Amino acid sequence: MNTFDNRKDSFLPPFKVEYRSENADEHLALHLAHRFRLKPFEDEIVLVCIGTDRSTGDALGPLVGSKLQAHTSRMLQVYGTLDDPVHAMNLKEKLEFIQTRHPKSTVIAVDACLGQFSHVGNINVINGPLKPGAGVKKELPPVGTFHITGIVNVGGFMEYFVLQNTRLAVVMRMAEIIASGLSKAVSLASEESRLGSV
């Protein structure tokens, strides 16, 4: 799996869009397509959608994975769905499997997170690996060359309780935006690759 240390996209600034913004998925898609164009041509894109449907707030990752299952292609491989989630109990094992199955891959982590009240609803794309479980004091392996997070609720106090009591409507809508943005980005990047090879 590639790391970000020697990659041009490590210089890209972080990206942020509010999920209720007009054309939020298209703004996200343009940013992600730019990142995809900078990856080595032979790399697959592996999406690791982290979370569990046992907690409303933490279901963002598996919802994104389930929505993208239909779009799995040679260029985009998806791990972490509602039926087969990637979570704290199996994360290390799944990452080892991905390393073996997709040795040349750009890995993107997708996860829910908690943040300041004024940031709830933001979808962020950030350089470097995600540190899953950090908000709830769990030590888990880092994931991804870059990561996408959705701030689903306010953090700082009783995180487990807050995640359990997050509105499903917000999480569903954010998952739709992230899944649509990723799907459109793959199409944009692959169209450009085909045009470049003509």
Q: What is the pLDDT of residues 97-128, one digit of tens each?
A: 999 999 989 999 999 999 999 999 999 999 99
Tell me what pLDDT residue 160 has.
Answer: 75
Q: How much is the CA Rg of the chain, to the nearest whole Å?
A: 16
Instruction: Determine the 3-state secondary structure of 104 from DSSP.
Output: coil
Tell me what pLDDT residue 51 has.
Answer: 94
Using pLDDT thresholds of 50, 70 and 90, give the confidence band for residue 172.
very high
Q: In degrees rounded to 5, what are phi and psi of residue 98?
A: -65, -40
Using pLDDT thresholds of 50, 70 and 90, give the confidence band for residue 195.
very low
CA–CA dist 68, 71 (Å, integer): 5
Using pLDDT thresholds of 50, 70 and 90, give the confidence band for residue 132.
confident
